[in-house]
Structure 1
Amino acid sequence: MSDRAGTPATESDLVDVEALIAAYYAGVPDVSDPAQRVVFGTSGHRGSSLDTAFNETHIAAITQAIVEYRASQGITGPLFVGRDTHALSRPAETTALEVLEANGVHALVDAYEDYVPTPALSHAILRYNREGHDDQADGIVITPSHNPPRDGGFKYNPPHGGPADSDATSWIANRANELIADGNRDVKMAEPSGVDTYDFREHYVADLENIIDIDAIKRAGVRIGADPLGGASVGYWKLIAEKYGLDLTVVNPTVDPTWRFMTLDWDGKIRMDPSSSSAMASVLAHRHDFDILTGNDADADRHGIVTPDGGLMNPNHYLAVAIEYLYTHRPEWRQDAAIGKTLVSSTMIDRVAESLGRRLWEVPVGFKWFVPGLIDGSVAFGGEESAGASFLRKDGTVWTTDKDGILLALLAAEIVAVTGKTPSQLYAELTERFGASAYERVDAAASKEQKARLGKLDGSAITAETLAGDPITARLSEAPGNGAAVGGVKVVTEHAWFAARPSGTEDVYKIYAESFRGSEHLREVQAEARAIVDAALGA
């Protein structure tokens, strides 16, 4: 934790936007350097032009690869393109449109040249494909999510509207790297003669009444504060307030590619993470001004929920409350619809699911795993511990197949309106029923070789019999819900668990841990987790 965490950014913290954009066009990556290759993580390719990791060469190659991939899949409909407020997003959009034009792909951009939240792009894809056209649409969203201002991001959403699966992203990344290695000679580019548009904002906002009880919020007069944190949701919150006549204030409508108005995150960097109390420090100063106060990251796929009585909620706590509320207030949802969670999310969700008599569907990290269930209604809610979730419309049909931070923020206002209690108060009631937990994620050093071994580690390699004094009941390297590889391990006891996964960007592995025996027991779990994993890796 930096001693500057939670303090306002200063001039020395700000990125030089002109230098950032100049490097985007000037830098030529060397794909023999792993740090300069195209790599799709759980949310697309990310990097900085200053590190020659996100440059025009990368984006041209990735877009050409997407063109070739969609052709191989028989995808011939329009391709929706949206961008967030990061400085590198606009030049990346320009590059992508030039490639799409030269390849004869029908691109649709925002009607107002506005920013496009990730959920609005997912919503647009699903809307088009639901209308019965002879072709299918897909999309590109240009965002590094909550990453610092120096970063750019680029991800592909196929016709199902959610994040592309590993087969697709691996193909696209491999092809893009082949193109770059050959000097992008097979990349076609042309100045667009004119790009068609789509009103992402109007269609998304007009549809919200079919998934959120807007009337209840309005009747109750819930005072909502929404902080876009300088991100793509800024115009959406304004329209939501106007269209539905809600008592909703956009706390800070400023958009600035340096994010000079932010407070620094835990490590002293500017990062738009709405689940971080350090990044949300300036927002938290307004907690008593509203009945519910929310934050979103740069592409609005994450949510932060602030209550006047509890402050910033732990994402796991809010997910548990949201699940308990939704499954008792959405009578048209299928009675056999499961509750989706990632295996590093809180066990409180398991206990809530059991009390509701609902099947728990536990999957590896990555929202892509929830996509099929959300589409067919067999999973009514999918949530990640990193403050990302989406759920079904009131009638049990699909809303978005990507994370929706705007939706989860509005749900918090509905919960207040309908129950008369804040999500913090409702979580306190859950702890009275199921016990209180201590949860934390920490990092531990690991070499690239150790990370590679951890990613392929089998649960049977864990030889320990106990964890922090309790017998180990499960050693998982595959997710219980779908049998997919975890990309690490999860070790479970009656009262606690830990999961270890390699970082995709740093020489560390992440340890997620939770204990229902308090914070001291959690420390024991974390310490033994390091020892257990190190022993399995031969560290």
Structure 2
Amino acid sequence: MHERAGTPATESDLIDVEALVRAYYERRPDASVPGQRVAFGTSGHRGSSLATAFNEGHILAITQAICEYRAGQGITGPLFIGSDTHALSAPAQTTALDVLVANGVRVLVDEFDDYVPTPALSHAILSWNNDPERRAEGEADGIVITPSHNPPQDGGFKYNPPHGGPADSEATSWIANRANELIADGLKGVNQAEPSAVETYDFRGRYVEDLANIIDFDAIRRAGIRIGADPLGGASVSYWAAIRDRYELDLTVVNERVDPRWSFMTLDWDGKIRMDPSSANAMASVVARAGEFDILTGNDADADRHGIVTPDGGLMNPNHYLAVAIEYLFGHREGWRKDASIGKTLVSSSMIDRVAAGLGRHLWEVPVGFKWFVPGLIDGSVGFGGEESAGASFLRFDGSVWTTDKDGILLCLLAAEIRAVTGESPSKLYADLVERYGDPAYERTDAPATPAQKQALGRLDGDAVRATELAGEEITAKLSHAPGNGAAVGGLKVATEHAWFAARPSGTEDVYKIYAESFRGPEHLAQVQAEAQRIVTDALG
């Protein structure tokens, strides 16, 4: 923990925006240097122009690759494009538009030149493709330009195909490989033109208007719930005002500032500026106002993550809120399929497993990455999909799809609905779950690993684990593939009756991540964490 974690940023913490943008245009990536290659993680390509990891050359190549990919897939409809408030997002959108127009792609940008949250872009793609008349013009897809909650110096670029959610590994691998080929060839295969032929789309108006089909605003209004919303300087800033006005809510946008340096933030756990609404340090200034509202919320820069603050509990752990949201939704959404499953990633809390069992609902456990929930959300077989990193989405009242990407705005509004309908705060409802199911201790830590060890961990089979016990309990599962869909988890999960750990290699650092949880308290959790490293090291040989 950094000594200044949770304290306001000072001038020395802030980026030089001009230098960052200048580096975007001046630095040329070298595809032979690993750190300068295009690499798609679970949420697109990310990096800083100062490290020659997110520069004009990258965006030219990625966008050309996307044009070629969509042509190969027969995607002939419009491409929706939007960006967040990071300093590199606007230059990247300008670059991308040059390439898209030159390749004859029909492009739709925001009607009001506003920022576009990730859920609004996913909503736009699905709205188009679910309309028979529009779909007849060709399926739509999209690009959202955001590094999510990453620090101010970073940029991010993500492709969402016609299903509206994050592209799968097959698509991103093809796009990344083709982009790196183009960079290596000096960008000779990239088409560019002035972006004159672009159309507009009202992302905000259409998204806000449609929220009435998924959130009970009448209940929120009747109960007089006082809502505070902090966009944390991100893309949702004008969305919250529009929601307030459209649904006549007692809602205050507590911070309307947009600053690409994020000078108003408090520092995260490592002393960096990071717009993570699930971090108590990053949210310190928001949490300080908890007593002013019935529900106080935060979103990251592209509004795909949520932070929930209550007067009686402060900032909720994301796992805790997911458990509360699941129990509430499956008891208050009569239009959902009776066999609709509860979706969770395998590193999310086992409290969700116990809630699912109590509800008599099937638990669908998948690897890390929201893309795994896409098919189930589209056909209604998954009512709710959530990740431990404070990202989730769920179905409309009638059981049809809302978004196939994470929607932080939606989950914040749900907290207000829960407070209005139940008369209790989400924190109190989680305390009720603890009384019924136990009190889990959960933590994520990092352990050192060489690049070779990280590669080996990513390919590890559960049978490689020779241990039979974990922290004094018999091991009941050794998983290298997710129970829900059989997909490889890119790591390992080991479970007992009361505890589990999962180990996954980091995509950016020489460490692997250890997620661990115990229903037998913090001391047992520490024992699980210590033995997890030994078990992983032994399995890697």
What TM-score range do you get, normalising by the shorter chain?
over 0.9
> 1:206 matched to which residue of 2?
209
Corresponding position: 1:99 with 2:95: no
Aligned to 2:178: 175
1:344-368 residue CA offsets vs partner (Å, 9 max, x unmatched): 0000000000011100000000000
Match for residue 448 of structure 1?
Answer: 451
Q: Structure 2 regions of 5+ residues with no counterpart?
A: none
Question: What is the match of residue 9 of structure 1?
Answer: 9
SS in structure 2 at match of 1:440: strand
Q: Does 1:431 align with 2:434?
A: yes
1:360 maps to 363
Q: Match for residue 332 of structure 1?
A: 335
- 2:348 matched to 1:345? yes
* d(CA) in 2 for partners of 1:350, 1:467: 20
CA contact (8 A) 2:77 2:141 kept: yes
Distance 1:2 1:471 in 2: 37
Deviations 1:428-470 (A, max 9, x none): 0000000000000000011111100000000011111100000
How do 1:405-424 residues align onto structure 2 when only pairs under 5 Å count?
405-424=408-427
- Cα distance in 2 for partners of 1:37, 1:217 equals 48
One of 443, 467, 471 as aligned partner of 1:468? 471
How far 1:536 moved relative to its partner? 1.5
SS in 2 for 1:341: strand
Q: Which AA in structure 2 matches 1:65? A: A
Letter in 2 for 1:389: A
Distance 2:224 2:198 in 1: 42
Alignment of 1:440-519 (within 5 A): 440-519=443-522
Where does residue 60 of structure 1 map in the other structure? 60
CA contact under 8 A between 2:101 and 2:197: conserved in structure 1? no
Question: Counterpart of 2:34?
Answer: 34
Q: Which residue is 1:120 aligned to?
A: 120
Alpha-carbon separation, structure 1, partners of 2:373 and 2:322? 15
- Residue 76 of structure 1 corresponds to 76
Q: Aligned to 1:333, what secondary structure does the other structure show? A: coil
Assess if the C-alpha contact under 8 Å between 2:44 and 2:159 holds in 1.
yes
Q: The residue matched to 1:96 in structure 2 has which SS? A: helix
How high is the sequence identity, in percent, across the aligned residues?
Answer: 78
SS of 2:209's equivalent? Answer: helix
**Structure 1 segment 150-169 matched on structure 2, within 5 A:** 150-169=153-172
- 1:499 is paired with a residue of what secondary structure? strand
**Separation in 1 of the partners of 2:414 and 2:467?**
42
TM-score, normalised to structure 2, is: 0.99
Matched, 1:253 2:256: yes
Amino acid at match of 1:46: R
Contact 2:9 2:263 in 1 (8 A): yes
Residue 25 of structure 2 corresponds to 25
Using the alignment, how far apart are the partners of 2:275 and 2:202 within structure 1? Answer: 26
CA distance in 2, matches of 1:31, 1:287: 48
Among 271, 280, 289, the residue aligned to 1:268: 271
CA distance in 2, matches of 1:315, 1:77: 37
CA shift, 1:537, in A, is 1.8
Q: CA RMSD in A?
A: 0.5
Distance 1:343 1:127 in 2: 30
Amino acid in structure 1 at the alignment position of 2:271: G
Q: Shift in Å at residue 61 of structure 1?
A: 0.3
Letter matched to residue 454 of structure 1: L
Q: Residue 220 of structure 1 aligns with which residue?
A: 223
Amino acid at match of 1:460: D
How many Å separate the matches in 2 of 1:533 and 1:129? Answer: 45
- Rounded to whole Å, the distance in 1 between the matches of 2:533 and 2:12 is 36
In structure 1, distance between residues paired with 2:202 and 2:154: 27
| 1:108 match: secondary structure | strand
Cα separation, 2, equivalents of 1:408 and 1:297: 13
Distance in structure 1 (CA, Å) of the matches to 2:164 and 2:314: 33
Q: Deviations over 1:387-433 (max 9, x none)?
A: 00000000000000000000000000000000000000000000000
Using structure 1 for the length normalisation, give the TM-score.
1.00
The residue aligned with 2:324 is 321
Cα displacement string for residues 173-212 of structure 1 (whole angstroms, at most 9, x for unaligned residues): 0000000000000000111124210000000000001000
Please give the secondary structure, in 2, of the residue aligned with 1:501: strand
Note the C-alpha offset of 1:497.
0.1
* d(CA) in 2 for partners of 1:518, 1:253: 40
Q: Tell me how far 1:535 sits from its aligned partner.
A: 1.4
Please tell me the residue identity of whatever aligns with 2:54: F
Count the aligned residue pairs: 538
Q: CA deviation at 1:313?
A: 0.3
Once superposed, which parts of structure 1, at least 4 consecutive aligned residues long, lie more than 2 Å away? Answer: none
* Runs of 5+ unmatched residues, structure 1: none
Structure 1: distance between partners of 2:141 and 2:458:
30
The CA deviation at 1:488 is 0.2
Alpha-carbon distance between aligned partners in 1 of 2:280 and 2:353, rounded to the nearest angstrom:
26
Partner of 1:196: 199
SS of the aligned residue for 1:248 comes to strand
